[in-house]
């Protein structure tokens, strides 16, 4: 079953779930080939007993359109999270949570999933786009920001702070990065395979040359031994040494013959 990359963005009224609330969240699901297979979005009622963080509330005042967009058609969190789990189950793949930064978005989504459904279809893992960029760019983590990423990774998608818009935009970003990284990996594998083939051919050539050299030496030794066997032995002072020399020569002839036979078979 292939992985489905579920790019997710959240809009909140503070830095942590429980004390603060998730106002809106959205996901855009992509296959690895950048095919968008579905979207999900929901605007939520705030949590009972939670309150807005003053700094976050001040920031929202600078984003009136985005604030208005996440405060319409509100749902209870338990109903929205139930629908979300059902939607993920229809995607037909292994769900992978993708965020930018994942540490923030996944924090809220995971908390809400466990609180209101009792389980997470993502298990407890998430893929962080910024960390992925750090690995691809070879930069330090703090330098792996969007402004330092190559423009070819970005599609013409606005960043509006509307959860669905941002989820789609970062999903497209991730798919572009994934395609480039897999292209690099495929190129490296092809290069390694080519080098491996070259090394194998070189090894075969070296072994053939060694076998040919061994065969030639064995043939010369056999011819020399054959010529010597037809003439009386020379440089032998006493006949007592002959019984010692002849068995050794016989063994040598058999050994050389076996080497020559092995070399001939190897050439075939």
Judge whether residue 224 has pLDDT over 90. no
In this structure, what token pair is assigned to residue 20? 């603060």
Per-residue pLDDT tens digits for 92-119: 999 999 999 999 999 999 999 999 999 9
Judge whether residue 238 has pLDDT over 50. no
DSSP assignment of 71-122, as one string?
TSSEE-HHHHHHHHHHHHHTS-SEEEEEETTHHHHHHHHHHHHHHHHS--TT
Q: In the β-sheet with 36-44, what is the strand arrangement from edge to edge? A: 74-75, 36-44, 22-30, 3-12, 94-99, 127-128
Enclosing H/E stretch for 133: helix 129-137
Highest CATH level, class, for 3-189: alpha beta
Return the pLDDT at 246.
Answer: 46
Judge whether residue 34 has pLDDT over 80. yes
Judge whether residue 216 has pLDDT over 90. no
C-alpha angle 13/19/20, rounded to 5°? 10
Per-residue pLDDT tens digits for 159-195: 899 999 999 999 999 999 999 999 987 666 655 555 6
Cα atoms in the 13 Å half-sphere on the side-chain side of 46: 14
Judge whether residue 250 has pLDDT over 80. no
Return the pLDDT at 208.
Answer: 80
Domain boundaries of the chain, sorted by first residue? 3-189, 203-267
Return the pLDDT at 231.
Answer: 56
């Amino acid at each position: 079953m292939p992985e489905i990359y579920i790019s997710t963005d959240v809009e909140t009224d503070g830095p942590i779930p429980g004390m603060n609330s998730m106002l809106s969240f959205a996901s855009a699901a992509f296959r690895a080939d950048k095919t968008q297979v579905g979207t999900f979005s929901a605007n939520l009622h705030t949590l009972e007993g939670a309150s807005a963080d003053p700094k976050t509330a001040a920031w929202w005042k600078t984003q009136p359109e985005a604030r208005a967009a996440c405060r319409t058609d509100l749902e209870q969190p338990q109903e929205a999270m139930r629908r979300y789990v059902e939607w993920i189950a229809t995607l037909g793949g292994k769900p992978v949570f993708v965020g930018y930064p994942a540490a923030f978005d996944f924090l809220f989504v995971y908390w809400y999933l466990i609180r209101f459904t009792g389980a997470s279809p993502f298990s407890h893992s998430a893929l962080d786009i910024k960390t992925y960029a750090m690995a691809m760019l070879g930069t330090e983590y703090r330098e792996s920001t969007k402004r330092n990423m190559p423009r070819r990774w970005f599609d013409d998608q606005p960043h509006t702070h509307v959860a669905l818009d941002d989820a789609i935009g970062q999903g497209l970003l991730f798919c572009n990065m994934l395609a480039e990284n897999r292209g690099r990996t495929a190129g490296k594998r092809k290069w390694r395979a080519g080098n491996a083939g070259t090394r194998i051919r070189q090894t075969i050539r070296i072994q053939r040359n060694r076998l040919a050299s061994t065969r030639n030496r064995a043939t010369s030794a056999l011819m020399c031994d054959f010529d010597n066997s037809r003439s009386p032995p020379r440089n032998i002072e006493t006949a007592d040494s002959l019984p010692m020399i002849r068995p050794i020569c016989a063994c040598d002839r058999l050994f050389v013959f076996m080497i020559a036979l092995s070399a001939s078979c190897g050439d075939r």
